[in-house]
Amino acid sequence: MKRTILLAALFVAALFILLPGCGNPAIGTLQSITLTASNSDLYGEGGTAQLTATGNYSSTATKLLNVYVTFTVTPVGTTEEGGSLPATSATSPQTVSVSKTGLVTAVAPFVCTWHNEGTTTTPAWVVTGSYEVVATVNNITSNPVYMAVASAAGEPAPSADNGSCGPTPSAQ
């Protein structure tokens, strides 16, 4: 019986040491989270971007926190046509989904958050809306990262309705 209690106490102590921000003396306490993305635009069905959540600790140490954080996605702005961007969540992903490891993927229903302010020969793409992503752990929230969405990459004429929108990825 005493051995079981001792093992349980050691297990609980080990959990507290491994949790980010619990004050592990080796790295200190979590001060902030820096969120970055491999790219800021999602192109085409299944387009992806990888998020990286880095914990910044009081000892100046840093640690990758992707498996510890909760990612929250909020629509900001409008679609190309001026409509509302669909809300998205972990249980009901729309337009973008974020995996537990921070992989952002374009999913149905697809929308376009780009608008061509130029001409058919000289496009001038502007972003009308995006999805704001933040990472949170232990009540500490990261800086926001914004993801513009193009349901299909290409440079169509503004009057053409061929289902594509936004600049090609190489034009960035």
pLDDT digits (tens, 9 = 90+) for 67-109: 999 999 999 998 877 888 888 887 888 888 999 999 999 888 8
pTM for the model = 0.75
**Yes or no: domain 29-158 corresponds to CATH 1.20.120:** no
Closest CA to 96 of 133, 136, 70, 69: 133
Domain range list for the chain: 29-158
Instruction: Report the 10 Å Cβ neighbour count for 67.
Output: 10
Which two tokens mark 46?
Answer: 């299944």
86 close to 73: Cβ distance less than 8 angstroms? no
Torsion of CA 62, 65, 70, 72, to 10 degrees: 60
